[in-house]
Amino acid sequence: MKTAIYPGSFDPITLGHLNIIHRAAATFDRVVVAIMVNSGKKQPLFTPEERCEMARRVLCSLPNVEVTCADGLLAEYARQYEGAVIVKGLRALTDFEYELQMALTNKKINPGLETYFLAASERYTYLSSSIVKELASYGADLSEFLPQEICQTVADKVRQEDKQHE
C-alpha cells in the first residue's frame, strides 16, 4: 500500500489544500493529512484539535484519506508509515525555495523519504490560509476560498478573536 503524507498547518484547511488532497487521493492508496503542531509558523488561530476537527469534517467522504495531528519532526513522524512519501503543493517560486530546503532536510534525516510536489491548480495559486484569515477579519464572504462546511466556523472564530483584541 502506497501512502502519501500531506503535512501542513491547515490553519484552516482551504480549497487549495482540498484540491491537492483530492489529487493525491486519486494517485495514492492512502493519504494521511498531518496537521503539524509545531510548524514554526507564527501563532496559529486554531488549536491543533480544532484544525483536525475541521479537516475531518471536510474530508469525511474520502475513504482513503485520514487526518492526524503530528508533533515533532516530519522526517521522524513519517517512519511509522512504511514506504510513505511526502506530498506538497507548490504555488509559486516563493514556495519552491522553502519547500526544496525542507525536502532536502527531510531526506538528510530520513534518507528513504521522498517528497513529491504537485503544482497548485491555477484556480488556487493565490490562496493561503493567511489570506483567508485576513479576509475573514473584514467580514468578507469566504465561500470562494473555504470548503462550505467550515466557512461559518472560521468567520465566527476570527470575529471572536478580533473582539478579544478590541
CA-CA-CA-CA torsion sign (99, 157, 162, 138): positive
The answer to whether residue 50 forms part of the interface with ligand ADP (CB under 6 A) is no
114 near ligand ADP, judged by CB under 6 A: no
> Considering Cα of 95, then 24, then 66, then 16, what sign does the dihedral take?
positive
Candidates 4, 20, 55, 74: give the one binding ligand ADP (CB under 6 A). Answer: 20
Residue 57 touches ligand ADP, criterion: CB under 6 A: no
Q: At 115, is the secondary structure helix, strand, or coil? A: strand
The single residue among 68, 110, 128, 153 that binds ligand ADP, judged by CB under 6 A, is 128
Any catalytic annotation for residue 129?
yes
Calpha distance 15→123 (Å, rounded): 10
| Vertex 165 angle, CA 159 and 166, to 5° | 90
- Residue 115 touches ligand ADP, criterion: CB under 6 A: no
- Residue ranges in contact with ligand ADP by CB under 6 A: 8-10, 14, 16-17, 20, 88-89, 91, 95, 120, 124, 127-130
